[in-house]
Amino acid sequence: MNRQRALRLAFAAVVVTGVTAAVLPSVSTAEPDSTVQDAISRDLGLTASQAEARFAQQNDAAATESALRAELGEAFGGAYFDSDTGKLVVGVTDDSAASAVEAAGATASPVRFSLSELDAVKAQLDDRTAAAGVTGWYVDVMSNSVVVEVNQAEADAKTAGFLDAAEALSPAVQVAEVDQSPSALSHVRGGDKWSTTLFVCSVGFSATGGNGSKHFVTAGHCTQGAGPAYGHNGDAMGSLGGSTFGMSGDHGKVDVTSGGWTLQGTVNRYGGDDVAVRGSTEQPIGASVCRSGTTTGWHCGTITAKNQTVIYINGGVVGGLTKTTACAEPGDSGGSFISGGQAQGMTSGGSGDCGEGGETYFSPVKPALQEYGLSLVTG
């Protein structure tokens, strides 16, 4: 078997706390302040003006991807943002589709498999029971393949058989070896947070119900069960209001019923003015993202895959996650990923740490809002 060996490290960034106490912090809509810029410079190597230009290019690329996905149909082979050129790269299975891509200002790249074909192969894997050491699988639009990741240090006698069967599904399947297995991030040691009687997580995004009710979305593994929810200062906020942790994603809802808390369309910068949430336009693969969590604060990185199925070593097979080169640690779970003011999702889990790097997955925000019938609070 021709198996790709790959070690994937993480450098992304998270944003938390869409719900704060009654005293409202200031909100910035200007260029990043020194706190944000330090994180962007450290993790992405960009100046303030370069970062501003990057996020503008990503927003344009996201709109172009949506339009071309609909226009090209079965000829659409996936798309990703190329940070070197500042343009969207679109895979096409039909040469005649290239002209439409170029006319839209994107770069056409001939590929063997359409995105729908790759998604179909991944769906077959989703129906299988993984063997020991298999940490997940996803569609990799950059290589036009379905990648199955395996930690051989945890493999057993059945692992090779699972990988052989996966590769037999389609020539699109590739196997990549990783040196760590991901885990869900739950416990923390302090900082800006929300908590239950069992563990501590990070707040995602503020949201309202149709009747004006107050909520925030976070990680579903943080809201399993029932019971009270407490804010970063230990005061009661409300109660756990919903949880999804499985093939439909990792997202949950907390109902904010205490009058001592005010919803805000902002995210916590940890040391600087809060950042306004302007919407929830989904960014393409290759786009830069930033995050902030109660344990590790601010970090930045890149989206590397979408709709990944992840097998967590501490329990749970979770689908629909977005993979990033983000570092995160226990307690960052539920914290909000954001890109150019656009809410992307809530931290689910990952591998590694922010000392040596790692990979982090987030659960997209839109499915969470749709499931609970909520509207994002913007600033």
3-state class (DSSP) for residue 72:
helix
Q: Which of 271-275, 348-352, 372-376 has the lowest mean pLDDT?
A: 271-275
What is the sign of the dihedral through the CA atoms of 92, 97, 102 and 106? negative
| Tens digit of each residue's pLDDT (9 = 90 or more) over 343-364 | 999 999 998 888 888 899 999 9
Residue 215 burial (10 A CB sphere; 0-12, 13-18, 19+): buried
| CATH label of the domain that carries residue 186 | 2.40.10.120
Q: Domain of residue 160: give its range.
A: 1-44+114-379
What is the sign of the dihedral through the CA atoms of 172, 80, 281 and 310? positive
- Residues 201 and 71 occupy one common structural domain: no
- Residues 105 and 170 occupy one common structural domain: no
- Residues 37 and 59 occupy one common structural domain: no
- Residues 52 and 167 occupy one common structural domain: no
- Residues 52 and 100 occupy one common structural domain: yes
Specify the DSSP class assigned to residue 111: -
Q: Exposure string (b/e) for 123-149, b if CB count within 10 Å is 16 or more?
A: eebeeeebbebbbbbbbbbbebbbbbb
- Residues 145 and 164 occupy one common structural domain: yes
Cβ neighbours around 172 below 10 Å, total: 20
- Residues 40 and 176 occupy one common structural domain: yes
The count of domains in the chain is: 2
| Tens digit of each residue's pLDDT (9 = 90 or more) over 155-167 | 998 999 999 999 9
Q: Which of 284-288, 305-309, 327-331 has the lowest mean pLDDT?
A: 327-331
Instruction: Choose one of 110, 129, 160: the last residue of a domain.
Output: 110
* 119, two tokens: 């998604």
User: Which residues participate in catalysis according to the annotation?
Assistant: 221, 250, 333
- Residues 291 and 366 occupy one common structural domain: yes
- Residues 320 and 375 occupy one common structural domain: yes
Instruction: Choose one of 110, 131, 147: the last residue of a domain.
Output: 110
Instruction: Choose one of 62, 79, 110: the last residue of a domain.
Output: 110
- Residue with the bigger pLDDT between 38 and 69: it is 69
- Residues 147 and 71 occupy one common structural domain: no
Output the pLDDT for position 235: 85
- Residues 267 and 328 occupy one common structural domain: yes
- Residues 194 and 307 occupy one common structural domain: yes
CB 77 within 8 A of CB 95: no
What is the pTM (predicted TM-score) of this model? 0.76
Output the pLDDT for position 340: 87
